[in-house]
Chain A
Amino acid sequence: MNFPLSFWDISLWLAVTAIILLITSELISSYYGKTNILINKKRLKNAALITGILFLITVAIRIYGIITLP
Chain B
Amino acid sequence: MSKAKKETTAQSSHKAPAVFTIKISPIRLLSFFMLTLGLIALAISIVYASSILAFIGLGLTFWGTLTLYITTEKYVKQTLLDPSIMPSLANLDRILTELEYQGKGIYLPPNYFKDLETSKVYIPKKKDANVPKPEEIQQKADKTFLKNPEAALVIPPGSSLLKLFEKTLGKSFTKANLEYLQQNLPRLFIEDLEIAENLEIQMKPAILAQKVADSVSAIQFKNDTIYVKITNSLYDSVCKEARSLKHICGSIGCPICSAIACAIAKASGKPVTIEKTESTEDGKVIEAYYRIIEE
Contacts and interface: CB of A to CB of B under 8 A. Distances in A.
Interface of A: 1-5, 9-10, 13, 17, 29-31, 33-34, 38-40, 42-44, 47
Contact of B47 (A1, A39, A42, A43): A1
Given A9-B51, A13-B58, A38-B72, A4 B66 contact: no
Contacts of B59: 13, 17
B266 to A, nearest CB: 25
A1 B49 CA distance: 7
Interface string B223-266: 00000000010000000000000000000000000000000000
B54 interface: yes
A1 B46 contact: yes
B72 A47 contact: no
How big is chain B's contact interface, by range? 20 to 34
Contacts of A13: 55, 58-59
Given A39-B71, A39-B72, A3 B55 contact: no
B45 interface: yes
A42 to B, nearest CB: 8
B54 A40 contact: no
A33 B197 contact: yes
Interface string B172-198: 000000000000000000111010010
25 contacts: A1-B47, A2-B49, A3-B46, A4-B50, A4-B53, A5-B58, A9-B55, A13-B59, A29-B191, A30-B191, A30-B194, A33-B232, A34-B194, A34-B232, A38-B72, A38-B73, A39-B71, A40-B70, A40-B71, A42-B191, A42-B192, A43-B70, A44-B70, A47-B69, A47-B70
Nearest to B234: A34
Most buried by B among A17, A30, A33: A30
A9 B191 CA distance: 35
A29 B187 CA distance: 12
A4 B72 contact: no
Most buried by A among B47, B53, B72: B72
B71 A4 contact: no
B75 interface: yes
Nearest to A3: B46
Contacts of B192: 42
Contacts of B289: none
Given A3-B45, A38-B73, 20 more contacts: A3-B46, A4-B45, A4-B51, A5-B54, A5-B55, A9-B51, A9-B55, A13-B58, A17-B59, A29-B191, A30-B191, A30-B197, A33-B232, A34-B232, A38-B72, A39-B70, A39-B72, A40-B71, A42-B191, A42-B192
State the 10 A-B residue pairs at the shortest beta-carbon distance, nearest first: A4-B51, A38-B72, A43-B70, A4-B54, A5-B54, A44-B70, A39-B70, A4-B49, A40-B70, A30-B191
A39 B58 CA distance: 23
B62 A17 contact: yes
